[in-house]
Structure 1
Amino acid sequence: MTSQVKLYVYDLSNGMARQMSRQLTGRQIDGIWHTSVVVYGKEIFYGQGINITLPGRSHHGSPLQVEDMGETSIDEETFNEYLSEMREHYTADKYHLLEFNCNSFTNDCIGFLTGGSIPSYIKDLPTDFLSTPFGAALRPTIDAMYRRPSPGAAPIPAATAAAANVSPNPQLASSILQSIATQAQAGGFHPSPNGNAQSPPPLQATQTLTAPINIITNPASFRSFLGGHRAAVAFFTSATCPPCRMIEPIFERLAEEKGVQGGRNGAGFAKIDLGVGMGRNVAAEYGVRATPTFISFLDGKKVEEVKGADAAGLKSMIDLVIFQAFPPHPHTALSVPAIQAVSFNPILFSQVPPIDSVLGKLSAFIDAAPWPSTQTQSQVQVKTALTSTVAPYLKARFATTPPTPLPSATPAILSTWAQATAALTLALPIESLFPLADMWRLALLDPAVGTWSAASPPSDPIALLLPKAVTALQNPSKGSRNYLLTVLRMLSNAFSSTALARRLLIGNVRGDMTSVLVPSLLHEDASVRTAAASLAFNAAAVLQKARVDAVRTGRGIQAENEVADEDWEVEVISAIMEAIDREKESEEVVHRLTASFAFLVRLSPFYDTQIQSLLDVLQSKKVLKSKLVKGDGWNADNGIAKKDIRRLVDEVAAKLCP
């Protein structure tokens, strides 16, 4: 006698994935699937351990769709024995939204009952999701949701909210993530003696596997696992194997050190117990007859095998497959002491002018300007805000003998100042705005101002003042030159804030900044070129520091996680090289530009795809070498005179330029 087997399919996102996935991930994802097996008049699923309820009576309600999985000839008693065995492995503490979830369990059950597997659109969803930049960025947070909390770790809601910020729509992403996490971690239902569902105790969502190891119990799950990891390592074990128990702690430690958690490049780690589920079938596919056996895989294909409790051999095998899957950047092997000696600290313009003089000049401009009738603030109100709120703060913060501790700008001060700035950018001509920009230049040295501005508040000063600099370039004059110079210095100081620096390198703000930076690098005024070279250096230093940190921590340099993109780097590198070629006066400008160039080129994830050929076209090596000899229009008798600058230019030309 046979029994019908069905698969109940639910959408944990309640339709939000279908509607919003493309704008969040760039890929259409129709649902975040939860599944359960329906057989013998029961619905069985994995959440807080293995749960059983009447069909359609789980906390997920009615299924979105029902898949016919065929028939089984296995009797109910045998299946119950199978479930009893599986309860030891599908425990509440091992649940993981991506790696060991309800779909892993239903895939095992379907394999046991029918010899088949659940549909690929369900079991392949984690792989599809993680292949998107959004999914890859969220992986560390999802992992953190299902691990034992460490001291100082962010709670799940905070971690989820932080991860959502990688999305173009953080509020929407946070809403979807919290909804999915809530439903995925919600309690399952157990049958009472009268057949009614009862609520179980709460799931301990942060108490799961001690290591990022996938528990595999059937061939279909293992194939899905291999498809989700470029490099993978499988541990074939059994409960009756003493050497397995000896080597298992070492395997777990290596999984922690060399796994993919934390956003780094690494291997996926799987454990297959030959006595659990269809573990022997998985082992048979790869000829495993004894335990412990370890096999490494590259792009789904077997690479190497280690038999026995050989810790040294296991580590070597893992290191090799990770190296093969994620070869280091070609420049990591270069000896570049001059480049490495350049500090990542931003170049800042910290000179403090007489605050009263700056404010007096701005007040005179305000008095002379025709005030638009549409302004919500009068001239008197704007001047009062500057004299009674802004000036006292600046004088206290940047006094000749500054107090201890230094006073910081409050949100109230900054909000008042921002409103006045919005009024002034509408009322004053560009040549009259440079005192205002200079005041903000100083303020951005205050960490509190950078943090506030990074949050993109209404009337954000950078968003208001930066587009005016584009206009200043289009209408050159002495007054517009002063404004352009001041804004370039203001933007350089903005890089003193890590949060604000990141904001300057993404989206529309980066576009506006680049529109100001590129032509300013070629400006006829030496002071403007120096400020532009400083801004270019600060932007490049942010990228280089992130890439060096990625190499040191083993995460690898991944373009999708960069705040920059290939087209932007090509544009800026081209502008910097042209500026170096044209620079005939200032060694310091050449120094800053060369350092910027080195930071952008070294460890760039785009070096092989476009940067290397671009440097050849730009004749970058020839241009840099020309600065070391007396050239056409170069004032120095023998090119650059300062030894440290000469060393840097020579090293960049020799090591980074084709």
Structure 2
Amino acid sequence: MLKLVQLYVYDLSNGLARQLSLQLTGKQIDGIWHTSVVVFGREIFYGQGISITHPGQSHHGNPLRMVDVGQTDIDEETFEEYLTEMRQHYTADKYHLLDFNCNSFTNDVVGFLTGGSIPDWIKDLPSDFLSTPFGAALRPTIDNMFRRPIPGAVSTPATIQPTPQSARAAINASPDPALASTLLQSVASQATLGPSSMAPPSQSTSTVAAPVHICTNPTSFHNTLKTHRAVVAFFTSATCGPCRMIEPLFDQLAHEKTEAAKLAGGIAFAKIDMGVGMGGMVGSEYGVRVTPTFIFFLDGIKKHEMKGANRAELTSQVNMLLFEAYPPHPHSKVTIPALEKVSTNPILFTQVPKLDIVTTKLCSFVDSASRPIPNSQTIKHTLSSEFAGYLRGQFSSNGKAVRSSATPQMLTKWTETTKTLVGHLPPSQLFPLVDMWRLAILDNVVSSWCATAAGNMTDPIQILIVKALSTLRSSEAPSTMRNYILTTLRLLSNTFSDLTLAHHVLSPSGKRSSVTSLVITTLLHEDASVRTAASSLAFNMAAAIQKVRIEQMRAMNGSVSGLDEDGEWEIELVSAVLEAIRNEVQNEDIVHRLTASLAFLLRLSPVYESQLAPLLEVLQAKETLQSKLEKGGCGEQGVQNNDIRSLIAQVAESLLVHMAWDNTRGGGIQHKTYRDCEQCTL
């Protein structure tokens, strides 16, 4: 007789995630999901080991949702045998809030009972959280909370350790650090809390192997194959001595390679114990008869099988699988000496104005506003005393100046002041305020806070960007808006002084769209100073992307496949930079920055072959760059600076080349070749 299988869903944050996630992470997260399986009149869940209670009687209280996930024809006795085997696997010391948790367990159980899986909106929660700057910064803190005990230490499963100093800044970056820390601790406590009668956890000697996917049935393994480009499957058993010998290397490779291949559909390392659950069925499906056996999959297709505990071969086969899944980028073979001399450090605008003059001017604008500004006296005090006082302490050349630290309360107050002034003053009177934020953003406390701010209501940078875009679309004379646009571009360039904020600026879920719109519009501005600032911002954007790609290429042995790559966005930005180069006939520095920006955007781009190379040919990119070296291209005689001339020539010859497809070699296999590129070895 078929039995109904239900998933009970709880929110470990008790509604706080829905209320505060935008503020803390910049992304809407509706809950911190805990799940349990209800079948045969029992509720089964994983925390401090596997726990069983009457439905709705667990320490989590009443479920937020009850989801029907299917029916099972497995009898209760067989299910009890399955749970007995699972207890060896789902022990308290292995629990990890993000990587091996209650939802990992319920997904396994649902797969065993019904052949299905739990909903994606539950499974995807950890990756959704970690994709935010706040989540990524807090990852070390969360890992520190869930560490297995070292030999000889008292066992304390899922002990909440003091927050590491390296991650303290991440919590401080939130608008309410105390709340962020409390929420995290509360969720961790709720997640692992279990019945007091639970048996003590087994001892272990290392941190939990988070990148290793534990698969106990065909459904969970097939799901791993579907969601990852490359999969290394380790078939093992508890009585296998050679398995114990090579397991540490497998775990090490899992940590190293998954960290390097943080890609959409990257690599997964799956461990299948042939004696646990339905692991034997997974092994039988692929003809596994001995342990250890390693099977390597690419796009769900078996590519290679390895038997035995050969350490060198395992390492080699993992590297070969990654090479095949993510082959080296063609540009990894291209050398551009002039480009190598260009620093990828951001161009920053650090000049400190006379703050007394700045605040006096702002306060006079407040007093003379065309319509009364609410709380004007408080606003003037905030500007001249609090905001300016903080800047004096941070940037004064006087060694006796008192350096103060910006608090979330201060930053929130400054943001509210900014919002009010932007709504009441014209752009021509707002640029002193933008200049104050330009300086403030150079302080990592301020930049970290801005990285976690979300939405026009709480994000000062976004408020100023929106005002700049509306100003550019207005019918006002360019001369009246010039200072505001110029200082806004310089402010945005300074956001790249902080890696977390730079990531947020370039993230599709962050400010990328609005920042791109602003830089594309201003690259063609009639004022040379504005164009210089816009080209600096374009350079910082491209250089930040280039640094990420280089790090990834080194980790992946030459392969590059971006986490947040967007071909349409790259086409838009590359087209704008090329147009700006074509139109710039006055300023060599602007041409220099734009050429470097173009090179950084093109070099190692994952979409170079498929989308950018054809575009470059259509736009005659090579000819555009080379024209800057000729008379009238930039100045009467063309670019004169030798370093800039070398960069232009080498980028034109090495990156802006026509790509052809050669189907005549390799028995019909397509090979990529580059005409006019002697340095490319493909």
TM-score (norm 1): 0.76
Whole-Å Cα distance in 1 between the matches of residues 101 and 411 of structure 2? 48
Alpha-carbon distance, 1:624 to partner: 0.8
CA contact (8 A) 2:36 2:44 kept: no
Residue of structure 2 equivalent to 1:193: none
Alpha-carbon distance, 1:232 to partner: 1.5
Q: What percent identity do the matched residue pairs reach?
A: 47
Deviations 1:106-164 (A, max 9, x none): 788899xxxx7424143x749963898668777995994755499999859x999979x
The alpha-carbon distance between structure 1 residues 180 and 119, as it changes in their structure 2 partners (threshold 3 A), is farther
Residue of structure 2 equivalent to 1:491: 492
Alpha-carbon distance, 1:104 to partner: 6.9
Deviations 1:368-402 (A, max 9, x none): x3552353315xx6666655555555556555x43
Whole-Å Cα distance in 2 between the matches of residues 353 and 161 of structure 1? 29
The residue type equivalent to 1:646 in the other structure is: R
Residue of structure 2 equivalent to 1:544: 546
The residue type equivalent to 1:219 in the other structure is: P
Residue of structure 2 equivalent to 1:195: none
The residue type equivalent to 1:617 in the other structure is: V
Please list, as runs of the form range in 1=range in 2, the aligned pairs for 1:485-524 lying within 5 A after superposition.
485-505=486-506, 510-524=512-526
Residue of structure 2 equivalent to 1:430: 427
Alpha-carbon distance, 1:48 to partner: 3.3
The residue type equivalent to 2:116 in the other structure is: S
The alpha-carbon distance between structure 1 residues 149 and 262, as it changes in their structure 2 partners (threshold 3 A), is farther
The residue type equivalent to 2:340 in the other structure is: Q
Give the secondary-structure state (helix, strand or coil) at the position aligned to 1:120: coil
The residue type equivalent to 1:623 in the other structure is: T
CA contact (8 A) 2:362 2:430 kept: yes
CA contact (8 A) 2:147 2:207 kept: yes
Give the secondary-structure state (helix, strand or coil) at the position aligned to 1:584: coil
Please list, as runs of the form range in 1=range in 2, the aligned pairs for 1:325-404 lying within 5 A after superposition.
325-358=325-358, 369=368, 371-373=370-372, 375-377=374-376, 387-388=384-385, 397-399=394-396, 401-403=397-399
CA contact (8 A) 1:187 1:202 kept: no
Residue of structure 2 equivalent to 1:530: 532
The residue type equivalent to 1:523 in the other structure is: H
Whole-Å Cα distance in 2 between the matches of residues 57 and 589 of structure 1? 68
The residue type equivalent to 2:224 in the other structure is: F
CA contact (8 A) 2:94 2:148 kept: no
1:644 matched to 2:643? The reply is yes
Alpha-carbon distance, 1:58 to partner: 5.0
1:9 matched to 2:7? The reply is yes
Would you say how many aligned residue pairs link Structure 1 and Structure 2?
A: 622
Residue of structure 1 equivalent to 2:574: 573
CA contact (8 A) 1:230 1:298 kept: yes
More deviation, 613-622/465-474 = 465-474
Alpha-carbon distance, 1:237 to partner: 3.0
The alpha-carbon distance between structure 1 residues 574 and 68, as it changes in their structure 2 partners (threshold 3 A), is closer
Please list, as runs of the form range in 1=range in 2, the aligned pairs for 1:90-489 lying within 5 A after superposition.
90-95=90-95, 117-122=113-118, 125=120, 129=124, 141=139, 144=143, 147-148=147-148, 184-187=191-194, 209-210=208-209, 212-259=211-258, 263=262, 267-358=267-358, 369=368, 371-373=370-372, 375-377=374-376, 387-388=384-385, 397-399=394-396, 401-403=397-399, 407-408=403-404, 410-411=406-407, 424-425=421-422, 428-451=425-448, 453-454=450-451, 456=453, 462-470=461-469, 472-473=471-472, 474-489=475-490
Deviations 1:487-536 (A, max 9, x none): 33333334334444444445685544444422321122222221221122
Give the secondary-structure state (helix, strand or coil) at the position aligned to 2:639: coil
The alpha-carbon distance between structure 1 residues 258 and 654, as it changes in their structure 2 partners (threshold 3 A), is same
Give the secondary-structure state (helix, strand or coil) at the position aligned to 1:294: strand
The alpha-carbon distance between structure 1 residues 205 and 184, as it changes in their structure 2 partners (threshold 3 A), is farther
The alpha-carbon distance between structure 1 residues 376 and 335, as it changes in their structure 2 partners (threshold 3 A), is same
Residue of structure 1 equivalent to 2:73: 70
1:657 matched to 2:652? The reply is no
Residue of structure 1 equivalent to 2:672: none
Deviations 1:72-106 (A, max 9, x none): 4x9x5x98777655543343323467876667767
CA contact (8 A) 1:216 1:279 kept: yes
Give the secondary-structure state (helix, strand or coil) at the position aligned to 2:322: helix
The alpha-carbon distance between structure 1 residues 501 and 161, as it changes in their structure 2 partners (threshold 3 A), is closer
Give the secondary-structure state (helix, strand or coil) at the position aligned to 2:616: helix
The residue type equivalent to 1:547 in the other structure is: R
The alpha-carbon distance between structure 1 residues 472 and 127, as it changes in their structure 2 partners (threshold 3 A), is closer
Residue of structure 2 equivalent to 1:194: none
The residue type equivalent to 1:287 in the other structure is: G
Whole-Å Cα distance in 1 between the matches of residues 636 and 628 of structure 2? 10
Whole-Å Cα distance in 2 between the matches of residues 625 and 354 of structure 1? 43
Alpha-carbon distance, 1:345 to partner: 2.0
Structure 2 unmatched runs, 5+: 151-158, 658-682
Whole-Å Cα distance in 2 between the matches of residues 483 and 612 of structure 1? 36
Give the secondary-structure state (helix, strand or coil) at the position aligned to 1:232: strand
CA contact (8 A) 2:283 2:289 kept: yes
Higher relative contact order (CA closer than 8 Å, sequence separation 6+): 2
Alpha-carbon distance, 1:276 to partner: 3.9
The residue type equivalent to 1:543 in the other structure is: I
Whole-Å Cα distance in 2 between the matches of residues 127 and 625 of structure 1? 53
More deviation, 200-209/461-470 = 200-209
The residue type equivalent to 1:299 in the other structure is: D
